[in-house]
Amino acid sequence: MKLAIRRLFVDERVKDTPLARGIRSRLAGVPEEVVEGPGKVFAHVLSFPDPVAAAKSVLYVTRNQGRFIRPCPGTSEYTCCGYHILHVGAFCPMDCAYCVLQTYFHPPVMQLFANQDELLAELDRVLLARDPAIRRLGTGEFTDSLVWEPLWDLTPRLVERFGVQDHAVLELKTKTVNIHALKGLDHGGKTILAWSVNTPRVIREHERGVTGLSARLSAAAQCAEWGYPLAFHFDPLVPYPGCEEEYRRVVREIFARVPGEKVAWVSLGTLRYPPSLGQVIRERRPGSELVLGEMVPGLDRKMRVFKPIRAALCREIVEEIRAAAPEVTAYFCMEDREVWENCTGSWPGEKGLSALLDRSAMWVCGIRE
């Protein structure tokens, strides 16, 4: 996708950093303002009738003042995968109707962190410590991992840092095809390229400004040729009449394009959202089927697809994965024991999912201990 930045704000503290200088050069002609803190940026975005839409064209270059590495904000009510976030920036220029980032950040502002040397120093300390609880890290929780490639060179630096160690893996999760900077890197097989996927109907109706499914799979196949391990995330699964066969078709297309032995995992997560996001969807996408289906409050107080419906859909997809690539690890994102057992006949336990994915990552990425 092409970035459409129309306004650039730069924090006074980082105006002379390499990242700020590089972005300034690459966005030549875009109005820029140096600010002291985020107040003026927030006010600018909130002055529009649709702040979420406005924020998609406003970039704020600032510094991260907290930790760069943090556990994924899962919930104790559902089985969590034990993933760790590399916090490189916030929000996203793509506009997916179901995206929780629309309400996670208040107000939603696209931010990139310029203190990258501090990020890399913290990462080096974590990798050197070889903490067995931190084996899988990724940049795709609070923003898309590859959407910012036109503006910075952080991704190659991360990939090559992971390539020279043998403790952990990096997951880059994306809906883009911005893979050009990955060619020729010394990745050592320690970076997993992951694509969020869905049926063509869901992409067409609910994901604005993104690449289509076929383009994503072509990018995945290219990365596999470059030696990168892969992963795929079906999240959110959106039930609708006839969706079962359409999701099965997506699974078949994935494994017709990429070898199963290169895939570390496939995750499944059904549609879920906090009530605040439901209100945003109603306001920004009137009549959206995302808030018209059989949704009930879950244990985490998020609205969730009625359990028998989501279990049936997950079971269909797991069956197709097992038929197409029986060696691939399939797991559920934020699901309970009942759904796990209903769909797979087993449950990894409260801590078992993290260990299962660690083993899968180490094996596919060639880490033998």
Burial of 73 (0-12, 13-18, 19+ CB in 10 A): exposed
Looking at the chain, which runs of residues are DSSP E strands?
A: 7-11, 32-35, 58-62, 69-71, 84-86, 89-90, 95-96, 110-113, 136-138, 169-174, 191-197, 207-208, 230-237, 263-270, 272-273, 295-297, 303-305, 329-332
Per-residue pLDDT at 187: 98
CA distance 98 to 281: 7
What is each CA distance from 353 to 101, 314, 347, 356, 358, in whole angstroms? 25, 17, 8, 5, 8
* 215-249 pLDDT, tens digit each: 999 999 999 999 999 999 999 999 999 999 999 99
Q: What is the pLDDT of residue 369?
A: 66
Q: Which two tokens stand for residue 2?
A: 């092409």
Flag the least confident range among 91-105, 170-184, 340-354: 340-354
Quick one: average pLDDT of 89-106? 94
For the segment 143-158, the average pLDDT, to the nearest whole number, is 97
Say what percent of the chain tops pLDDT 90. 88
Q: Averaged over 270-279, what is the pLDDT?
A: 94
- Please report the pLDDT score of residue 72 as a whole number: 86
pLDDT in tens, 27-40: 999 999 999 999 99
CB atoms within 10 A of CB 25: 9
The pLDDT of residue 85 is above 80: yes
- CA dist 42 and 56 (Å) reads 13
Q: Is the pLDDT of residue 76 over 70?
A: no
The answer to whether 320 touches 252, Cβ cutoff 8 Å, is: yes
Residues 291-306, mean pLDDT to the nearest whole number: 89
pLDDT score of 79 more than 90: no
Domains detected in the chain:
70-99+115-364 (3.80.30.30)
Q: Do strands 207-208 and 95-96 pair parallel, antiparallel, or not at all (unpaired)? A: antiparallel
Work out the pLDDT band at 2, boundaries 50, 70, 90.
Answer: confident
Strand partners, 335: 79
Closest to 266 measured CA to CA, from 304, 324, 188, 321: 321
Average pLDDT (135-151) is: 97
Q: Which pLDDT belongs to residue 334?
A: 86
Report pLDDT for 311. Answer: 95
Confidence of residue 68 (pLDDT cuts 50, 70, 90): very high
pLDDT at 130 over 70: yes
Question: The pTM is what?
Answer: 0.96
